[in-house]
Structure 1
Amino acid sequence: MHDENLEYVGFWPRVGAAIIDSLLLIMVTFPIIHFVYGDAYWYTDSLILDPLDFVINYIFPAVAIILFWVYRQATPGKMAISAKIVDADTGHEVKTSRLILRYVGYYVSSIPLLLGLIWVAFDSRKQGWHDKMANTVVVRRKDRSPRPVSFDN
């Protein structure tokens, strides 16, 4: 399938979307962490304090992100840049099992100095390693403006 109205979303727009998503997650998780653990949490050397800490910082974000992908084909950050995640072969919605694989792929992509994420900048279809693992692409309409700009003379 070839759609002239769509384009692959490149590195910098995806970085912007990731920043938006990260800020939103911080706005939700930090108050909960502070409520549960107090100021002492911010001064500990432990990566994970206990099972609840793991749920708040790892499980909740994973579930939230995957649910956005399943029901909206995008996280809030991707929605802000008018992007969506689709099957790389058909352009259709992606099965939940592959979206879970895509999420796990974020970790795989991050381990070697973020190389799998930076790969988006150099790949012809703008796929990171997580996209390649799940056979997905991130696309958006070329013409995203609500209407053409015009000025009265």
Structure 2
Amino acid sequence: MRSTELEYVGFWARVGASVIDMLLQLVVVLPLTFALYGRISQPDRMFMGIGDFIINLILPAAAVIAFWVYKGATPGKMAMSARIVDADTGRSLTAMQSLIRYLGYFVSLIPLGVGFFWIGFDRRKQGWHDKMANSVVVRPSGDEPVKFQGNADWRVAPREPGL
């Protein structure tokens, strides 16, 4: 798929992808939490224990970063045939870019989510986390073709049946 056949993915499509990802995360996290503690929450505890920290923060972060590095997208973005790529070259993100992008989620979230809402106003539909990692989210077709430096050529993974 040539870069001229791509479009930037906007705010609402990315919200939809995030909802899919969060639901999948809950399917994994809730049973693990229940298995570890025998219940989903511990209202008598103010701070997370090491098990909570690993299950709720470390495992999801590792999974998301691994999906970005090896698949170019999380399952939610794959469902819409979108990929996260380097904003200059159109190539897959490096592990370091993926880590920076994930940490950038916190930067985007802290000022009342302004860094995420930025996607709706940015010409390349980049949130602050995308700008920090020099990434863009693209998918096939569109009215405004995506331009990368050089002749980047990548293929969007086809949507698998049942997703």
The letter for the 2-side match of 1:62 is A
Match for residue 23 of structure 2?
A: 23
Q: What CA deviation, in whole Å up to 9, does each residue of 1:35-79 have, x standing for no partner?
A: 11123725345241x111100000000000000001100000000
| Distance of 2:34 and 2:50 partners within structure 1 | 16
Deviation at 1:97, TM superposition (A): 0.5
Match for residue 32 of structure 1?
A: 32
Match for residue 150 of structure 1?
A: none
User: Residues 1-150 of structure 1: matches in 2 within 5 Å?
Assistant: 3-39=3-39, 41-44=41-44, 46-48=46-48, 50-142=49-141
TM-score (norm 1): 0.88
What are the ranges of 5 or more consecutive residues in structure 2 without an aligned counterpart?
143-155, 159-163
State the structure with bigger RCO (CA 8 A, min sep 6), 1 or 2.
2
What are the ranges of 5 or more consecutive residues in structure 1 without an aligned counterpart?
147-153
The 10-residue stretch of structure 1 (5-14 or 39-48) with the greater mean CA deviation from structure 2: 39-48
- Kindly indicate which of the two structures has a greater share of residues assigned to helix: 1
Aligned length: 143
Would the alpha carbon gap of residues 42 and 23 (structure 1) be closer, same or farther in structure 2, given more than 3 Å must change?
A: farther
Runs of 4+ in 1 over 4 A off after TM superposition: none
| Distance of 2:71 and 2:40 partners within structure 1 | 37
Percent of aligned positions that are identical: 54
